[in-house]
Structure 1
Amino acid sequence: MTFRQPHALLFLCSLGLCSGASANLTFSGTLNEPPPCTIDAGNTIEVDFGDVGVKRVDGERYRRGVGYTISCGTDTLPWELKLSVNGTPTTFDGAAVQTSVPALGIRVFQNSLPFPLNTPLDINLSSPPTLEVVPVKQAGAVLPPARFTAVATLLAEYE
């Protein structure tokens, strides 16, 4: 009887003359929830522009810093934190919050760059971005004398 080499190996293994090895696998881990964060201890952050000249709104004058702090519980895991400013954008500037005056918005900056609304930004908790805001108007608009307000939400969340 002639055997070809692969058939011979198969025959020997079927008789138990070939040895194999096996090992069990065990998988485990711990599901963790990120630590809770608060912005300014949950207080409202207010920016008052004071008296703004209707003919002086140019996207540069009246710029104000937005002072804020983010506090998160202690944890050793490398959580990825995102920051966004959520609100209704103006029709003329995606980084400006619509105010109560139709042609007037409040442009938001992060580290001196326009910060598009409703767009999360990866941040480092130990050095969060500097936020600034400035009144802007729609090109060609004539602003009426009026009191104005705008509302947005500063949101820090884990990815």
Structure 2
Amino acid sequence: MTNKYRGLALGLIGSAALLSYNPSKAVEVNFSGNLIENPPCDVAGPDGANQPIKVQFGEIGITKVDGVNYQQDFTLTLKCGPDLGNAVALYLQYMSPFVASYDAKALRTNINGLGIRLYHNGVVIGPNTGTKMTMSSNGTATLPLYAVPIRDPNPATILREGDFTATATVQMLYP
């Protein structure tokens, strides 16, 4: 028998063996899960998760408002759990319709000429903008922030004594 026919015969025998293979038992495999667009996350400020963030300046001297004095530090913590993934890029969005007319990077307060600036790592986060951050491997991210009162630089604007407030919304955006 020539090598050509010998190879053909071996190939046919091997094919027949494969075709005659009959498993004694087969098991079905089912896969399931729950695909979610955004895993639930909690934003926690100084007063706890999903609570309003209150930054108290206390009493401040009208003549000492200079954009440096009266800095108030606070931290936001985002907890998402492991379902979000590792090293996920996040975006803190800082929204408010109350922007100071004299400074686009400051919130307007109820006192004419007084505004509040928000900072992260020494950089101003203006209203209706945001800042990037990265989720850690344990599903949390910490964002140290600080707020500082500022005044209208126009010398004709006089700050008046009284209680002041400003409001904005902080929201975390993630994939």
> How far apart are residue 32 of structure 1 and its match?
4.0
Residue 77 (structure 1) shift: 3.9
Alignment of 1:3-152 (within 5 A): 32-40=36-44, 41-75=49-83, 77=85, 79-87=88-96, 88-126=98-136, 127-139=141-153, 140=155, 141-152=157-168
**Structure 1 residue ranges (4+ consecutive) displaced by more than 6 angstroms after TM superposition:** none
Q: Secondary structure at the match of 1:58?
A: coil
- CA change 1:76–1:37 in 2 (3 A) is closer
Residues 63-121 of structure 1 show CA distances to partners (whole Å, capped at 9, x for unaligned) of 01122211113225464321022112111222211111121101111111111211132
2:117 alignment partner AA = R
In structure 1, what is the Cα distance between the partners aligned to 2:105 and 2:84? Answer: 34
1:130 and 1:67 map into 2 onto residues whose CA distance is 4
Higher strand share: 2
Q: Which runs of 5+ in 2 are unaligned?
A: 1-33
How much has 1:125 moved relative to structure 2? 2.4
Using structure 1 for the length normalisation, give the TM-score. Answer: 0.74
The alignment's TM-score, normalised by the length of structure 2, stands at: 0.67
Give, in whole Å, the separation in 2 of the partners of 1:158 and 1:125.
Answer: 10
Instruction: Report the counterpart of residue 7 of structure 2 in structure 1.
Output: none
Matched-pair identity in %: 32
Count of matched residue pairs: 130
Distance (whole Å) between structure 1 residues aligned to residue 65 and residue 124 of structure 2: 17
RMSD, aligned α-carbons: 1.9
- Tell which deviates more after alignment, 100-109 or 66-75: 66-75
Aligned to 1:120, what secondary structure does the other structure show?
A: strand
Q: In structure 2, what is the Cα distance between the partners aligned to 1:144 and 1:92? A: 17
Q: Secondary structure of the residue that 1:75 maps to in structure 2?
A: helix
Opposite residue 154 of structure 1, the aligned amino acid is: V
CA distance in 2, matches of 1:59, 1:119: 20
